[in-house]
Structure 1
């Protein structure tokens, strides 16, 4: 870890066996703090700022390590101590982390209640700064056939038309669908527009005889007044 040591007075002040790389080799990655793990990726700081300070500053500005998954190239390069190449490396790592979380089992999941739907969809909504609307096409046993993104809008504004929703279901020969969208604010409480579009979708589903099992809004437990982190129109009695 010579490159890290040469650019970081903070690291040089630590006993050799207390430096992040040595602790990583001796005890494994779980013993390192978020800042230390990020410092291992950055490798070096900049003039006047050691690598741990740069790493901890990134996390502080993002609000958390997970918050960095929402950052763009411009967000990273704005931060003192992160040049263009390091920013690209960090973007790559964050995308790898997202894809690992999103990786699916060989057998598609059965989605038959709000909790299972929310757990399946939460990784797809993680870190998004805009609202997206997905259609989950299901077979007769409520096993997922396909997840399709049908719209992507600015924060607070997702528009969807029944033809976009049910076109996908018909194409996949689905027996039922679940509609899902995210609230970037984290609060899953429905807006007036969310309620209106759900009622329109309910009527369209009845017309074409494809079951609309639920419409789920994904938020975060921390921002949800009831702590669930999601809202089910089925549970609310709208469907």
Structure 2
């Protein structure tokens, strides 16, 4: 918990080291992660400036990725981070996630696996459970929509062709690309991944909606079933 004592503010740093002045003069890309966080939490404590406290936080949890899904209680494990600061950090992380998810998919053209992966990597690479989504395409390979199909892994009990193709049929899709993530960071497909893909491909042939690829996103890496000759 943060006490009533006044902490060091960013204004007390030398002018050339103040994140606010730096972001206004040079732009946000010139700030370190700690400096950006310092602008959010605003003040430090008796012994640490806001920048130093932000760096303590990043060091404790292993960088930005480590703080993405933390609770207020977990953030408060770092000395100097109390209820107010933890709430500010959680709020800005959630806002960043929502901004990242805002895409006008209908303007996107998907003609190769890299474009398909790029469409969803920023949203899916840090997820802590497996999520299956489909990229619905028209006859010109333009994106119609990217609905979420399931959470919790790929298995016959969770992923049913009816759920996968329901939105594709409703939106008159010509083709679909399956996309799911591997929280482990390893994009190698499992036996379930391969079997489910074959099952969905056969179902798509019957209803006239082609499954043209399956993309596995694992951190900054991805694997395409098409490129690996796992799908025809």
Q: TM-score, normalised on structure 2?
A: 0.84
Q: Distance in 2 between matches of 1:163 and 1:152?
A: 16
Are 1:43 and 2:50 an aligned pair? no
How far 1:102 sits from its partner (Å)?
2.9
Higher relative contact order (Cα pairs below 8 Å, separated by 6+ residues) = 2
1:159-170 pair list within 5 angstroms: 159=155, 160-170=159-169
1:1-239 pair list within 5 angstroms: 7-8=7-8, 15-105=14-104, 107-153=106-152, 157-159=153-155, 160-221=159-220, 229-239=221-231
Distance 1:48 1:15, change over 3 A: closer
How far 1:95 sits from its partner (Å)?
2.0
Distance 1:22 1:112, change over 3 A: closer
> Quick check: 1:67–1:127 contact (8 Å CA) kept in 2?
no
Q: Distance in 1 between matches of 2:207 and 2:84?
A: 52
The runs of 5 or more residues in structure 1 that have no matched partner are 1-5, 222-228
TM superposition outliers: structure 1 runs of 4+ over 4 Å: 9-12
Q: TM-score, normalised on structure 1?
A: 0.82
Q: Distance in 2 between matches of 1:143 and 1:72?
A: 39
Q: Distance in 2 between matches of 1:209 and 1:27?
A: 53
How far 1:121 sits from its partner (Å)?
0.9
How far 1:33 sits from its partner (Å)?
1.8
Distance 1:202 1:43, change over 3 A: same
How far 1:21 sits from its partner (Å)?
3.6
Q: Tell me the C-alpha RMSD between the 2 structures.
A: 2.4
Name which of structure 1's ranges 134-143 and 22-31 shifts more when overlaid on structure 2: 22-31
How far 1:196 sits from its partner (Å)?
1.3
Structure 1 match to 2:3 = none
Distance 1:212 1:16, change over 3 A: closer
The runs of 5 or more residues in structure 2 that have no matched partner are 1-5
> Quick check: 1:109–1:144 contact (8 Å CA) kept in 2?
yes
